[in-house]
Amino acid sequence: MQLKSKLTGIESGSVLVVMLNYLDAAEMGIHSTDRVKVSFNNREAICVVDISKTWVGKGSIGLYKEVEEALSIKTGDPANVSPAEAPRSLEFITKKMNGARLNKQEMFTIVKDTVDRKLSDIELTAFVSSLHFNGLSMDETVALSASMAETGKTLGIKGKMILDKHSLGGVPGDKTTMLVVPIIAAAGYKIPKTSSRAITSPAGTADRVECLCPVTLSVDEILRTVEKTNGCLAWGGAVDLAPADDMFIQVEYPLSIDPLLLPSVMSKKKAAGSTHVVIDMPTGRGSKLKTIGEAQSLAKNFIELGKNMGIIVNCVLTFGEQPIGYGVGPALEAREALSTISNISSSPDLVEKAVSVAGVLLEMAGEKNGKDLAYKLLKSGSAERKLRQIIGEQGGDSKIKPSDIEVGSHVAEIKSKTSGTIWWIANHDIVKISREAGTPKDRGAGVLFRKKIGDTVKNGEVIMEVYAEDDRKLHNAIRLAESLNPVGVYAKMKDRMFIEKVPDGENHKKFFVLER
Amino acid sequence: MQLKSKLTGIESGSVLVVMLNYLDAAEMGIHSTDRVKVSFNNREAICVVDISKTWVGKGSIGLYKEVEEALSIKTGDPANVSPAEAPRSLEFITKKMNGARLNKQEMFTIVKDTVDRKLSDIELTAFVSSLHFNGLSMDETVALSASMAETGKTLGIKGKMILDKHSLGGVPGDKTTMLVVPIIAAAGYKIPKTSSRAITSPAGTADRVECLCPVTLSVDEILRTVEKTNGCLAWGGAVDLAPADDMFIQVEYPLSIDPLLLPSVMSKKKAAGSTHVVIDMPTGRGSKLKTIGEAQSLAKNFIELGKNMGIIVNCVLTFGEQPIGYGVGPALEAREALSTISNISSSPDLVEKAVSVAGVLLEMAGEKNGKDLAYKLLKSGSAERKLRQIIGEQGGDSKIKPSDIEVGSHVAEIKSKTSGTIWWIANHDIVKISREAGTPKDRGAGVLFRKKIGDTVKNGEVIMEVYAEDDRKLHNAIRLAESLNPVGVYAKMKDRMFIEKVPDGENHKKFFVLER
């Protein structure tokens, strides 16, 4: 059927979509969500059909931006439209929905069609849901991870050993990466680190680093930075490694499900060319992994998946029941990271975590006494010099001082209403308060702790400060803090960051890890 | 945030959608699929966010038709936009995804939000998928069915006893309803029958009846027709009973899943006010229900669901391994139904099925020897007079003769290539051939059998004719028929129990056992 083109000018944002008038659709026996082949001037596109009653009249076809570009077509041009088959991957999606296992080729077809934007939201959701409900075998996980890596760019860093670290996240204030990358790079190993921005947290590593220097680097800029400094601290969103991941996340996000956790992490590492990866698993109440048992079982999966993908993986379970260090929010965290690496101030748990994680990675690379080496590189100023070199290479001011980083000018104190010891800090409440104060968008907003778990406080003593960039947000954050109960003051505890390394510790010290 | 409206003029077709520029979205901390409240002039709408990079500039907001109408807003008008919570039902959807049971209120909230177009494709797919994967308890099925009925129109026919029939379908040529409704109405019982059009079959009952009279009736027209004649044969799509069903089907259709079968059928019956329903379950290879055991188990579910909804349900398992009667395709079937009810021609299996189904329904209503009564009403001409009365009332020619119904003028014969007995007819192949010939859009297209299962044929004797409205389609249909093997003719069925030994048979003897 020949139809007259009518351009919407609008990006559909996902799959290629055309709109048919309901009469034309009926004549072709086509329903909403069916496929049609649209061709013009020797170009053709397979598109998903939307049915229109008013905007597209009989004899016309509405084309979204992506279709317009695929066909180089203008309003009024004649488009040839005929029914087309649904993409092959739909068959494999329904196969998975019905409980079958998919082989490598089937998995690859689904991922390829996802990246090529051939699947509708309904079909993508059905795939992600089927993984949520039916689970993934190790073979499927390997196939999915490899397919996700193969269908995007690769970094192509030269060198036999490429190190990396990844955190499963979930703990506010975790600026560990900003110390680990310079330590590893200072030790002479390559670590091309890409990080994400905050979605539901107060700050992602990319947000933190952006307070020091630009993070939106191209692949070439990453290669040049790593070539010169051994490391980088770039925003992953700019380089499009394993792009299928972002499309799956679009579906997972509104549903609060995460069946692709393992392929999501490991496909990006594969695309980055990593050979040795340490995975930080914050564990305990208030973090994503509630128990050591859960974390260990996930750790084993990561290690096995790595083995199948040719990547050596070690996992580190870390204490995740309170914020790391004192600052929460992009600028407050950047300040703390810079002043800790510069040995100006001390955040003992941050240092302990950074040298523990870096130490494991250094030992994976063949060093002995990794933690000691990491600590030496930090204390000697080597790590600071390396960070400044990276900052300069990424286009920032390599002489930046912590006080140069601007934080919110509207500040209020939150005081203890009793005397005693801080026994717990509720991560989720700290996240809520920080976001109410303006993070991650307001870089200077956030929370700065004066006391942490195990510290004693007197009645009326300041536990934390809230920072904001305007008064209204500060007011809202304070009011929220008062309605919540973010800090528990009762008796006494020690600080203890490192729980165990997998695969090492068999005798689990289940040190005050509570089930929620 | 105040943004300048920019109208798309386009119906999004489902949930309310607005487009934000990525910079404004980032400033509000909003991601794709998040909700925003958009207000203008004391009106407000909760909308799902789509992120735009080009079509909507910073400071503007793109509004689809449904939002434009909800707010009575024009291009250039200032819209106030603020982050909003996701609808409550999303919480219940994730609860169901995680394997929990939903109570009546939770189920109702999901259905209400579906009908109010508050849920995105992703969220609706997640719900339907969760029913597919986790199943529904009887309590959930009752709650879902009742909610689907309550969130739409009801017919409100007067009378203590409202009869209805429903077929699970799947067998081509099934024009039984066109006989059952007049028989029941002629017996003095009310039967306000609404039917669907074909989606993947050669004809739906609405398509068949439309060859005799209009079927697009309003609720008032249905009420008037039933008032005067006791029955009607209307298209369900025009009256919007249980509208949530159509929205769920939008998701089920591309995925080829049907977890809402029971609520889909029973919610419409509830909305129609039915008190006694007979459900026809075509059973056997080539139909939806492959075995009698499967059909019995589904039948028990229907009966129990009915009990919980205050509807008396009986189920009838019918032979579904070949087309019903001789004609397949809207006009060919309308002709056959009219000439059978007029006692002009005889289609023994059609008559047998119609009086059996009608008989069960009559007995449910309190009659004795229902099948005999049904047969009498058919043979005496009462049913024919009733059908003609309904045709007239719906706006058709009550004097219509079978030969008045136009069938395709392009006809070809398909002949047997051997002598013997017809042992099987492959329903799916008949559907494919009919659709290739032009059904359901070309009303005169289809297949007309001369022989059916059990009939003997000679080499070269005509088994069926293919009808089409143009030569090209006829040619394609014939070519397809030749490449398939739609009818099995063998000299004699010998005692042949042994099919094959596994793992032995490389040369599968596909004698008589059809894969579906």
Q: Do B10 and A93 touch (CB under 8 A)?
A: no
With H, G, I as helix, E, B as strand and everything else as coil, classify residue B317: strand
Chain B contact present for A173, CB below 8 A: no
Establish if B31 touches chain A: CB-CB under 8 angstroms.
yes
**8 A C-beta contact, residue A209 and residue A338:** no
CB–CB of B11 and A435 under 8 A?
A: no
The lowest-confidence range among A69-73, A290-294, B506-510 is B506-510
Tokens of B157: 């026919």
Does the beta carbon of B216 lie under 8 angstroms from any beta carbon of chain A?
no
Interface contacts (A, B; CB < 8 Å): 126
Which residues, listed in sequence order, are joined to residue A241 by a DSSP beta bridge? A153
Which residues in chain A (402-431) have CB-CB distances under 8 A to chain B?
A: none
Decide if B300 touches A, using CB distance below 8 A. no
Find the residue in B nearest to A436 (Cα).
B29
> Which position has the token pair 């393992």?
A262
Q: A33 vs chain B: nearest CA distance in angstroms? A: 7
**Among candidates A149, A70, A71, which has minimal Cα distance to A112?**
A149
CATH of A163-238+258-403, one of 3.40.50.2300, 3.90.550.10, 3.20.20.70, 3.40.1030.10: 3.40.1030.10
Closest residue on chain A to B439 (Cα): A29
Closest to B464 measured CA to CA, from B295, B322, B293, B318: B322
A121–B121 CB contact, under 8 Å:
yes
Write the CB contacts of A166 (distance below 8 Å, at least 6 apart in sequence). A265, A269, A277, A278, A279, A280
Residue A144 confidence class, pLDDT cut points 50, 70, 90: very high
Binary contact (B11, A53; C-beta < 8 A): yes
State the SS3 of A376-434. Answer: HHHHCCHHHHHHHHHHHHCCCCCCCCHHHCCCCCEEEEEECCCCEEEEEECHHHHHHHH
pLDDT digits (tens, 9 = 90+) for A328-349: 999 999 999 999 999 999 899 9
Spell out which residues of chain B touch residue A33, defining contact as CB-CB under 8 Å: 250, 253-254
Q: A465 pLDDT band (50/70/90 cuts)? A: very high
| Whether the Cβ atoms of residue B280 and residue B357 lie closer than 8 Å to each other | yes
Residues of chain B with CATH 2.40.40.20: 2-84
- Asked if the C-beta of B434 comes within 8 angstroms of chain A's C-beta atoms, the answer is no
CB B449 within 8 A of CB B464: yes
The mean per-residue pLDDT over the stretch B459-466 comes to 97
Q: What is the DSSP string of B353-399?
A: HHHHHHHHHHHHTT-SSHHHHHHHHHHTSHHHHHHHHHHHHTTS-TT
Determine the average pLDDT of the residues in A469-497. Answer: 83
Q: Where are the alpha helices (DSSP H) in B151-234?
A: 177-186, 205-209, 219-229
Domain with CATH 3.90.1170.30 in chain A: 406-490
Q: Which residue of A has its CA nearest to B6?
A: A10
* Stretch 35-64 of chain A: residues touching chain B, C-beta under 8 Å: 50-55, 62
* Phi, psi angle pair for A414, to nearest 5°: -115, 125
- Please indicate whether, in this complex, the C-beta atoms of A11 and B53 are within 8 angstroms of each other: yes
- The pLDDT value recorded for residue B503 is 55
Tell me, what's the pLDDT at A307? 96
Q: Using CB atoms within 10 Å of the CB of residue B132, give its burial: 0 to 12 exposed, 13 to 18 middle, 19+ buried.
A: buried
Residue A248 distance to chain B (closest CA, Å) = 11
Q: How far apart are CA A83 and CA A34, in angstroms?
A: 8
Task: Determine whether the interchain pair A97/B52 forms a contact, defined as Cβ–Cβ distance below 8 Å.
Answer: no
Q: What span, in angstroms and rounded, lies between the C-alpha atoms of A22 and A24?
A: 6
User: Residue A275: pLDDT above 60?
Assistant: yes
B33 at interface of A, judged by CB pairs closer than 8 A: yes
Residue A80 CB: number of other CB atoms within 10 A?
15
* B386 touching chain A per CB within 8 A: no
Structure tokens belonging to residue B224: 């008037």
Contact B32, B88 (CB under 8 A): no
Query: DSSP class of residue B404?
Result: G
Q: Which residue of A has its CA nearest to B98?
A: A133
| Angle separating helix axes B370-379 and B382-393, nearest 10 degrees | 70
Q: Are β-strands A420-425 and A487-490 bridged in parallel, bridged antiparallel, or unpaired?
A: antiparallel
Select B163-239+271-402's CATH number: 3.40.50.300, 1.20.1530.20, 3.40.640.10, 3.40.1030.10: 3.40.1030.10
A130 CB within 8 Å of a chain B CB: yes
- At B197, which amino acid appears? R
In B15-113 the beta strands, taken as DSSP E runs, fall at 17-21, 35-40, 43-52, 60-63, 78-84
B29 contacts A440? CB cut-off 8 A:
yes
Minimal CA separation from A473 to chain B, in Å = 13
Largest CA-CA distance found in chain B, in angstroms, rounded: 81
pLDDT over 70, % of chain A: 95
Check B130 against A129: CB less than 8 A apart.
yes
**3-state SS record for A277-316:** EEEEEEECCCCCECCHHHHHHHHHHHHHHHHHHCCEEEEE
A12: confidence class by pLDDT, cuts 50, 70, 90: confident
Q: How near does any CA of chain B get to the CA of A168, in Å?
A: 21
- Phi and psi at residue B3, in whole multiples of 5°? -130, 150
| Subunit contact A10:B11, Cβ cutoff 8 A | no
Every domain range in chain B assigned CATH 3.90.1170.30: 410-490
Contacts of B132 in chain A (CB under 8 A): 97
Structure tokens at A29: 């026996």
| B257 contacts on A by Cβ (under 8 Å) | 94, 97
pLDDT of residue B292: 87
Å between A435 CA and nearest CA of chain B: 9
Class of domain B88-135: mainly alpha
Residues in chain A with CB shorter than 8 Å from the CB of B130 are 129, 133
Write out chain B residues lying below 8 Å of A83, CB-based. none
Query: What's the whole-number mean pLDDT along residues A53-75?
Result: 93
Mean pLDDT over each residue of chain A, to the nearest integer: 92
In this structure, CATH architecture of domain A406-490: Alpha-Beta Complex (3.90)
HSE-up of residue B41 (Cα within 13 Å, Cβ side):
10
Say if residues A458 and A423 touch (Cβ distance below 8 Å).
no
CA distance B306 to chain A (A): 28
Per-residue confidence (pLDDT) for residue B494, from 0 to 100: 54
Mutate to test the interface with B, among A121, A131, A441 (most CBs of B within 10 A): A121
B233 beta partners: B193
Check CB contact of B13 with chain A, cutoff 8 Å: yes
Q: Per-residue pLDDT averaged across B15-20, rounded?
A: 92
Helical spans, DSSP H, in A199-291: 205-209, 219-229, 244-255, 261-272
- Residue A82 phi, psi dihedral angles, 5° rounding: -145, 155
**Alpha carbon distances (Å) from B375 to B82, B180, B365, B383, B385:** 67, 10, 16, 10, 15
Whether chain B has a CB inside 8 Å of the CB on A132: the answer is yes
Q: Which of A139, A258, A455, A470 is catalytic?
A: A258
Q: Please compute the mean of the pLDDT values over residues A486-497 and round it to a whole number.
A: 67
Q: For residue A254, what is the nearest residue in chain B, using CA coordinates?
A: B33
So what's the architecture of B410-490 in CATH?
Answer: Alpha-Beta Complex (3.90)
Chain A residues lying within 8 Å of B33, measured CB to CB: 250, 253-254
Instruction: Return the number of other C-beta atoms located less than 10 Å from residue B504's C-beta.
Output: 7
Active-site residue, from B116, B121, B258, B470 = B258
Given an 8 Å threshold on Cβ–Cβ distance, is A10 in contact with B32?
A: no
- The residue with tokens 């260990």 is A296
Domain boundaries for CATH 3.40.1030.10 within chain B: 163-239+271-402
Residue range A174-196: mean pLDDT, rounded: 97
CB half-sphere exposure, B210, CA atoms < 13 A: 22
pLDDT tens sequence across A338-379: 999 999 998 999 999 999 999 999 999 999 999 999 999 999
pLDDT band for position B12 (cuts 50, 70, 90): confident
Find the farthest-apart pair of alpha carbons in chain A and give their distance in angstroms, rounded.
Answer: 80
Rounded to the nearest angstrom, the minimum Cα separation between A227 and chain B is 33
Query: Cα separation of A168 and A239, whole Å?
Result: 20
Chain A within 8 Å of B297 (Cβ-Cβ)?
Answer: no
Q: CB atoms < 10 A from the CB of A224, how many?
A: 15
Q: How far is A250 from chain B (nearest CA, A)?
A: 8
B94 and A256 within 8 Å at the Cβ level: the answer is yes
The domain over range A2-84 is classified in CATH as 3.40.50.300: no
Q: Give the per-residue pLDDT at B54.
A: 85
Angle at B444 between CA B183 and CA B217, to 5 degrees: 50
Is B258 in the active site? yes
C-alpha A18/C-alpha A76 separation (Å) is: 15
Lowest mean pLDDT among A186-195, A282-291, A322-331: A282-291
CATH code 1.20.970.10 region(s) in chain A: 88-135
